[in-house]
Amino acid sequence: MTERIVLAYSGGLDTSVAIGWIGEATGAEVIAVAVDVGQGGESLETIRQRALGCGAVEAYVADASDEFANEYCVPTLKANALYQGHYPLVSAISRPVIVKHLVKAAREFGATTVAHGCTGKGNDQVRFEVGIQTLGPDLKCIAPVRDLALTRDKAIAFAEEKGLPIETTKKNPYSIDQNVWGRAVETGYLEDIWNAPTKDIYDYTATPEFPPAPDEVTISFEAGVPVAIDGVKVTPLQAIKELNRRAGAQGVGRIDVVEDRLVGIKSREIYEAPGAMALITAHKHLEDITIEREQARFKATVGQRWAELVYDGQWFSPLKRSLDAFIEDTQRYVTGDIRMVLHGGQAIVNGRRSETSLYDFDLATYDTGDTFDQSMARGFIELWGMSAKVASGRDIRVAGK
């Protein structure tokens, strides 16, 4: 029986080139696996036909858009996860769900090897291979683009030589990855970090310099999950899509950042994540009134570590699983409504309400009806500063000798 290799197929340059290389180099049959994570654009059937046109013996497609939103985007939202304070893990959280379907397809088609089209410079090679070896430890992994040391120029030349039905050409040298959570653009003239992005790079967002009238939206959450927009019930996928549309129209969610890649180099990335950034902003503001202070402080640390783990390809790791349990516990009372104004590239919260809020008007007010006993403050300050006061006295005493 001819060996079979399952290939993670996006429909782009690298994986299209990989189909031909695998066939020529190994003689194996290639089964392309495309996973819909809400990326929009081309239909899965179009991508399927392109895979067949590039030499795949079979092309398997999976609609995982709701799965992606519920099981990957929502945990990212609950963690308020922003890698290095900027990046909402657009590509990083899509790799684990793709890995799940790759391993499933390998079992279904009797493949012993899983292939991906990542380069040796990127993070995705780690995310794919660590995930595959975790879920399918008996499976082998190959990365033909990386192992063949193909540069982007060589890949384009190979595609043109073979007449592969792909859109990437020398006139469009960008590497683009997108899903419902956002869109990532890199390479080309963006690699010079002094170059400003041009308008044609963006697709999910309109230019914020000339926005339409302000758009006020109310997002309702239950236990940290978005459940309604302006009073209309939605699924997580519908919530993300609706805010992609509305926040995107206002230019919300454009990110231009130089980030630290897992492989040790810095990389300039352009991201668009209007829905993700609007939801994270709303969710964080709801947490501000529903999570106790010390718990909230520690959750910020946990969220940062969570983002680092996911960025580094450790979605299925024991530590990630433990952090998930903590984060999920913090969401018990994160229920309520957040009102925000979307305008000119910003999502600004201007209203909050929750039946489980810790905000006490009578304690907070400075007007008549104030129930806060201000006489307690003097003793509290004395005790709070006691250790520093004692240490300062010691310093003065020692310095005087």
Q: Which helix (H) or strand (E) holds 52?
A: helix 44-53
Q: Is 267 annotated as a binding residue?
A: no
Q: Is 204 annotated as a binding residue?
A: no
Q: Is 244 annotated as a binding residue?
A: no
Pairing of strands 29-36, 4-8: parallel
Strand partners, 87: 83
Q: Is 12 annotated as a binding residue?
A: yes
Q: Is 14 annotated as a binding residue?
A: yes
**Residues 12 and 152 sit within 8 Å (Cβ to Cβ):** no
Q: Is 271 annotated as a binding residue?
A: yes
Helix, strand, coil fractions of the chain, as percent rounded to 5? 45, 20, 35
Q: Is 124 annotated as a binding residue?
A: yes
Q: Is 15 annotated as a binding residue?
A: yes
From the candidates 50, 95, 152, 246, which is the catalytic residue? 95
Strand partners, 8: 33
- Respond yes or no: is residue 375 known to be catalytic: no
From the candidates 14, 36, 177, 312, which is the catalytic residue? 14
Q: Is 13 annotated as a binding residue?
A: yes
- Respond yes or no: is residue 175 known to be catalytic: yes
Instruction: State the DSSP string of 224-236.
Output: TEEEEETTEE--H
Q: Is 136 annotated as a binding residue?
A: no
Q: Is 259 annotated as a binding residue?
A: yes
DSSP helix/strand/coil, 267: strand
- Number of Cβ atoms within 10 Å of the Cβ of 38: 20
Q: Is 9 annotated as a binding residue?
A: yes
Nearest CA to 257 out of 384, 89, 390, 117 is that of 89
User: Based on the number of CB atoms within 10 Å of its own CB, is 66 exposed (0-12), middle (13-18) or buried (19 or more)?
Assistant: middle
Please state whether 393 falls in left (phi above 0), alpha (psi between -120 and 50) or beta.
Answer: alpha
Tokens representing 112 are 């012993």
Q: Is 87 annotated as a binding residue?
A: yes
- Respond yes or no: is residue 124 known to be catalytic: yes
From the candidates 4, 36, 91, 124, which is the catalytic residue? 124
Torsion of CA 224, 230, 231, 237, to 10 degrees: -50
- Respond yes or no: is residue 95 known to be catalytic: yes
Q: Is 119 annotated as a binding residue?
A: yes
Which residues are documented as binding site for L-aspartate? 119, 123-124
Catalytic residues: 14, 95, 124, 175
Which residues are documented as binding site? 8-16, 87, 117, 119, 123-124, 127, 175, 259, 271
Which residues are documented as binding site for ATP? 8-16, 117
